[in-house]
Chain A
Amino acid sequence: MRVALVDREIDVAGLIAEVSDHTCGAATVFLGCVRDLNDGRAVNAIEYSAYRAMAEREMTAIATEIGDTFGVTRLVIEHRLGTLGLGDVSVAVVAAHPHRAPALDANRYAIEQLKRRVPIWKLEHYVDGTREWVAATTGSGNGDQGTVTANDASSAVSP
């Protein structure tokens, strides 16, 4: 298990290699990327900043919870800071496990908790030259306001 805030490009292939081994039948990857539109406004960059020490501490707590709840210890979470352009990967969660269900649950739990708890902020840069802090993330990323916790994460049938 490893978590990190980084100031460089996230090496997704490297993260997959880091968590995978021959005992794992599944490796799941979540990537958060900078997109070109938010609330109808054209975005051309996002500037990420963090309360670093606490952010890493919270990320470590999330990873520990994932180990305790889903039994997934082959896990890496990296969040990039600094100014990122369109399409850049801002966060990566990679989990590996003998079976897919725990790996998928771990991935979902990690990103939902990260967005809710980890003190990271983003300042959006718009095409029109303005900038604005992004409001807190409360939804689960699919348009609803649902949240995912360790207690309600899905449990699919393992392979």
Chain B
Amino acid sequence: MAKVSGLSHDRFSPGLQLAPSLAHCALAHPSRPIHPMPGGNRLPPRPLVAINQEYATLQSELHGGEEVAVIPPVAGG
């Protein structure tokens, strides 16, 4: 699924069972799959997420095939 190092993103694999919104998706539950993954321990408890390259809320709907990204705290400039 999605890499969560903060520097990569990926598309949902076709076989993934999608929930109707991020609120029901594993990506949105900090105590579950994100944080044990590589780099996940550097994410805040509730990291920003983006769907198709736009910031999203946990209420945002997913229909399948979206590009979902977990966004660590940004620090450009």
A134, B53: Cβ atoms closer than 8 Å: no
The answer to whether B75 touches A120, judged by C-beta atoms less than 8 angstroms apart, is yes
Does A25 count as interface, using CB distance less than 8 angstroms?
no
CB–CB B76/A53 < 8 A: no
Q: Is the CB of B74 within 8 A of A32?
A: no
In whole Å, how far is B67's beta carbon from the nearest beta carbon of chain A?
A: 9
Q: A53-B53, A57-B53 are in contact. Are A135 and B73 (CB under 8 A)?
A: yes
Q: Is the contact region of chain B dominated by helix, strand, or loop, or is it mixed? A: loop
* Nearest neighbor of B72 in chain A, beta-carbon distance: A121
**Does A2 count as interface, using CB distance less than 8 angstroms?**
no
Bound together, the chains give a CA A119 to CA B75 distance in angstroms of 8
| CB contact under 8 A between A51 and B77, given known A57-B53, A121-B6, A133-B42 | no
Task: Give the A interface residue count (CB, 8 A).
Answer: 27
The chain A residue sitting closest to B55, CB to CB, is A117
Asked if B69 and A115 sit within 8 Å, CB to CB, the answer is no
Q: Is the CB of B77 within 8 A of A115?
A: yes
CB of A45 within 8 A of chain B? Answer: no
A121 to B43, CA, bound (A): 13
With beta carbons under 8 angstroms apart, the residue of A54, A116, A122 that contacts B50 is A54
Nearest A-chain residue to B50, judged by Cβ = A54
Q: Establish whether residues B75 and A115, one from each chain, have CB atoms under 8 Å apart when the complex forms.
A: yes
Q: Which residues of the other chain, A, contact B50 by a CB distance below 8 angstroms?
A: 51, 54, 119
- Whether the pair A118, B74 counts as a contact (CB closer than 8 A) is yes
User: Which chain B residues numbered 40 to 77 have a C-beta less than 8 Å away from chain A?
Assistant: 42, 50, 53-55, 69, 71-77
Please name the 7 residue pairs, one residue from A and one from B, whose CB atoms are nearest each other, closest first: A136-B73, A120-B76, A54-B53, A134-B75, A115-B77, A32-B77, A118-B76
